[in-house]
Chains A and B, each alone.
Chain A
Amino acid sequence: MRVILAIWAAKILVIIGKLVGKKGSSTPGSVALKICPDMLRILAKKVPEIAVICGTNGKTTTNNLLCAIMQASGRRVICNHIGANMLAGVACAFAVNADIFGRIHADFAAIEVDEFSAVKVFEHFKPNFMIITNLFRDQLDRYGEIDIAISRLQQAIDMAPNCKLVLNADDPLVAAFACDNSLEVHYFGVGERVFEDDAEDTGERVTDGLFCRKCGEKLKYEYIHYNQLGRFFCTKCGFCRPHADTEAQNVELRAEGGLAFDVWGARIDVNYRGFYNIYNILAAMSVASLSGATDVVQPPSEHTQDADSSKINLAPVTRALADYQPQIGRMQMYKIGGKEFIFNLSKNPAGFNQAIKTIGNDPESAVIIAINDNEQDGIDISWIWDVDFELLNAARVFACGTRRDDLRVRLKYAETAAVTMCATVRDALEAARRGGEARVYVLVNYTALFPTEKLLNEMARRRRNP
């Protein structure tokens, strides 16, 4: 009975939240867990398979892609779509998917979980699959050094003895999770040199994970994709980039946007930007295949139960990828007054550097950057000095956010030309809209995400109905 009460409470609070325009789902979730601390455990038990997605970057996109592929294969899926990834947000996702009698009609749950919440969440359910996307430094003042994230994830893994691990083969910090347990492990990765960087020369770039997690020796690389991701090997203990059963090859990154690669003998071609999206797609495909979503459905006849049964049915993947709409602020595209506005959440150095790499050399563009230092952003903004602003090449750059003065200093020392300070993101958007550049990139950190989305939506609406 308490369960049903808790579900009702969560549902009502979500509706009230929507009415007053709040997007969060943590309050309904925590209220529900207060009413019935067992709610999540009871509801999760009713879902046959649960996949959990952890890692610093790419959680939300991977989670949504996995959900889309599973749905395209006909599964009913529970998913915490917008990224409420602490215990309360996870509880809320299950509660809103239950009916008012406490029944749940789902075949699968795709749940992203914050690295530091995994231990708490696993007290309520043990997942069948656990994806770890990557590990980068993020909000040191809130979470501490990357070593702490690693030990928390290890604790969580130790709690789930029947979980299949799905790990990024290219990230030595992630691949090392396979070493200390007897779990079934699957890997995804990009198995070829894509960028022409000198693998050994990490130069002034700042990267964690350069040292072997097993023996402490400095890792060597055949090639590096970005940060510590690449074909690594340790000359001391032999730890090396494992073979990936879901591996991308013949990668093509198109300058005008879009990317393509081979995997499982087929070609995947999508219109998203960003090399890192290859990892997101591979991770989602890996779990989808492990749970049988890409199996060829055999007619119940004895004749066809032969060699063909090992073939892969890619239809759910291609359908899901073609229809996929990026979540807010994931290289999201707006057309406003004949201009492209590309909106991206960039909240830690690795994510920011990937955004800069994706923008590439685009001297025709304007770039708006907003850096806030509210509690949810992390109050320490020193990480902006780990971002390679030196590689940014745009016609104009606008600095906004509460810490725009610090950003301005950073850009001065990167010797970025043509920087304008704006008190608000709105001012910057208006100035960029009036300017001569063909494209405007809008890179914001966390607490600027939803307000900026609102502004972009307003601008897009206004320009459509003048």
Chain B
Amino acid sequence: MKIAHLYPELLNLYGDRGNILAMTKRLEWRGIDAEVVRVLDGDNVLFSDFDIVFLGGGSDREQEIVAQNLSRLRDSLSEYVEQNGVVLAICGGYQLLGEYYQMGDEQIEGLGILKVTTERGERRMIGNAAIKADFLDRPIVGFENHGGATRLNGHTPLGKVIFGHGNNGTDGAEGVRYKNVFGTYLHGPLLPKNPHFCDYILECANAELTPLDDAVELRANDYVQARYKPQK
């Protein structure tokens, strides 16, 4: 399995390294080779060489640098997506896949691979969160911290908010799913506490997975659900 980690020096907020670790360890523990290629600014890549593409979150300033860099790779990434290539994009990376991020008077152009749009909201949406995706039985848990409010403009959400803010704090949708593209505001990091979602993504990339003992991971997942669920 070949994983492209896009701009790890710029997009590395909120323990994103954990997502890479979760994917690689869960492959290695099953005897599947995993290679992570760190794509740095200025590098040229052909996305069709990869099984999974990962985009993490960054600060506003860093996101602007990435937006400029990525625009050169837009066509290659778009073709990869249309041919069912697997992409996991978190927070800033998720926003970048969309058309734009409007911050007051300033607009960061996105890649336009998805029709989603983001505008800076009235206040940051911060806290523990859980969502239900219809392709998974168990909820996905994480921590969200974003100033942007995202609209899907017709796309399917990744899941429905159980608790937390989601894309924009109003419509109960969180993240996006388009073909094999998964975008979400949930970090924490996302995959280590959600081994079922990690394996789902690996399977989308055609990995053949044998079962693992996930007791430790699932306990952390249960804990977030139990502790932060609002008391009625």
Contacts and interface: CB of A to CB of B under 8 A. Distances in A.
B145 A380 contact: yes
Given A382-B189, A386-B15, A413-B192, A405 B25 contact: no
B9 interface: yes
B18 A206 contact: no
Contacts of B192: 385, 409-410, 413
A405 B223 CA distance: 8
Given A146-B59, A379-B128, A405-B223, A412 B216 contact: yes
Q: Max chain A CB contacts within 10 Å: which of B15, B21, B65?
A: B15
A141 B59 contact: no
A145 B22 CA distance: 24
Contacts of B217: 409, 412
Given A210-B9, A218-B9, A409 B193 contact: yes
A379 B144 CA distance: 11
Contact of A140 (B9, B13, B20, B65): B13
Contacts of A211: 9-10, 65
A405 B220 contact: yes
Contacts of B12: 206, 386
B21 A382 contact: no
A41 interface: no
Given A141-B126, A382-B14, A410-B18, A147 B193 contact: no
A406 interface: yes
- The interface residues of chain B, by DSSP majority, are classed as mixed
B21 A385 contact: yes
A382 B15 contact: yes
Contact of B145 (A140, A210, A385): A140
B72 interface: no
Contact of A408 (B22, B187, B216): B216
Contacts of B65: 211, 216
Q: Max chain B CB contacts within 10 Å: which of A146, A382, A410, A412?
A: A382
A40 to B, nearest CB: 30
Interface string A380-416: 1111111000000000000000010110111011010
B169 interface: no
Given A380-B14, A406-B220, A413 B25 contact: yes
Contacts of A412: 216-217
A386 B12 CA distance: 9
Contacts of B21: 385, 413
Contacts of B17: 204, 206, 385-386
Given A141-B145, A206-B12, A413 B220 contact: no
A162 interface: no
Nearest to B145: A141
Contacts of B20: 204
A211 B10 CA distance: 9
B128 A413 contact: no
A380 B216 contact: no
A210 B193 CA distance: 29
Interface in B1-49: 8-10, 12-18, 20-22, 25, 41
Interface string A349-382: 0000000000000000000000000000001111
A405 B14 contact: no
B15 A385 contact: yes
A413 B22 contact: yes
A97 B60 CA distance: 43
A380 B143 contact: yes
A216 B68 CA distance: 13
B220 A385 contact: no
A424 interface: no
B219 interface: yes
Contact of B219 (A145, A381, A386, A405): A405
A309 interface: no
A155 interface: no
B61 A383 contact: no
User: 10 closest A-B pairs (Cβ-Cβ)?
Assistant: A385-B15, A382-B15, A385-B18, A145-B59, A405-B220, A382-B14, A405-B223, A413-B21, A380-B143, A409-B220
13 contacts: A140-B145, A145-B60, A147-B61, A204-B8, A379-B128, A379-B143, A382-B187, A382-B188, A383-B15, A385-B16, A386-B15, A386-B17, A410-B18
Given A210-B9, A382-B189, 6 more contacts: A137-B13, A380-B188, A381-B143, A382-B14, A385-B192, A413-B25
